[in-house]
Amino acid sequence: MRKTAILKNDLFLEHNPGQTHVESPRRLEVIHERLAAPEIMKMFHFPAFEPASHEILQMNHTPAHVNRVASTGGKPFDILDPDTTTSARSYDAACLAAGAVVEGTRLLMKGEIDNCFALVRPPGHHAEADRGMGFCLFNNIAIGAHYAIQNLNVDRVMIVDWDLHHGNGTQHSFYNTDQVLYFSTHQYPYYPGTGSLSETGKDKGEGFTINVPLPGGQDDFAFASIFNDILSPIARQYKPDLIMISAGFDIYIADPLGGMKVTDKGFAYMTEILQDLADEICDGRLLATLEGGYDLNGLCDGVMAALLEMAGESILDHKTAEAFKDTHIDKQDALLASVLEQTRNIAKNYWTL
């Protein structure tokens, strides 16, 4: 068993964007209920953590944006953008969410844990340097990556974003640097409209943004082929010191916002691939942070599948795992194979595939 930490706090339940909003506190409540089982609790560690300071938030965000979110504190309702609203304690929850990811990176780099999952709300990967959007106030994973590079002697971070939606904020945070490799699978064209094949980075960052824009309807085997044939060889060449996951579970087959067909077995396999890469490349250092996922059963099952993989257990039987390992781009349908071949051809300008 690995020493797997879960970063959770009931304050995250107090961010309430509205009774009819899909990004509801219930998303975490169902996960907390599953984790409360004694046989589950004993498998994991639950370290304490503190809110991120304004100084840390400003590693990724402008002072004006941090102050704008802070100004919502104590207000029953405020609007950052048409999709992104706040309640009285949303600012506190957002600071703590960023702080959870920061503490996760610190614990990993100090060797105090093997891997961790930050079960946070509000999510983060759409938040830009100067504004919140897409349910996101601060960009939790980007702040964590900046902190690792600036404070923990980390040279290279690989961020893998499997959320249904492209992480525009995370991409823009690192578009001009080679210190973070951002790899995103997402439904395209779809909100927020970014993440095309041509977006590959700029200046020192050219080639360190890899987008896999998918047409929709992709299942476990489709994602397995992407992770087998594109992500894995790039990770081995990049050799990150830390692998981070923007773990969005809205690619689940029944998600109300999504058009994908991933099951808990797909989430287990993607986590297995990333954990195996982390074990091979960077002493097992893997950090996941929660992004989307709006079907409560699918969200809970997906999170638990990922957590069990991280802890050294698995919901995958041997036959299923071998079938996933044996799936490749050329085994996909013609439309998907074409998209993935285009992705690979662009990536070949920078990586050996």
Please answer whether residues 321 and 269 qualify as being in contact, where contact means their C-beta atoms are separated by less than 8 angstroms: yes
Q: For residues 237 and 270, give the distance between their C-alpha atoms in angstroms, rounded to a whole number.
A: 19
| Burial class (CB within 10 angstroms; exposed 0-12, middle 13-18, buried 19+) of 346 | middle
Cβ neighbourhood burial of 110 (10 Å; 0-12, 13-18, 19+): exposed
Catalytic residue positions, numbered:
126
As separate numbers, helices (DSSP H) first and strands (DSSP E) second, the chain gives 13, 9
Give the other-Cβ count within 10 Å of 32's Cβ: 15
- b or e along 184-209 (b: 16 or more beta carbons within 10 Å of the residue's beta carbon)? bbbbbebbbebbebebbbeeebebbb
d(CA 137, CA 91): 8
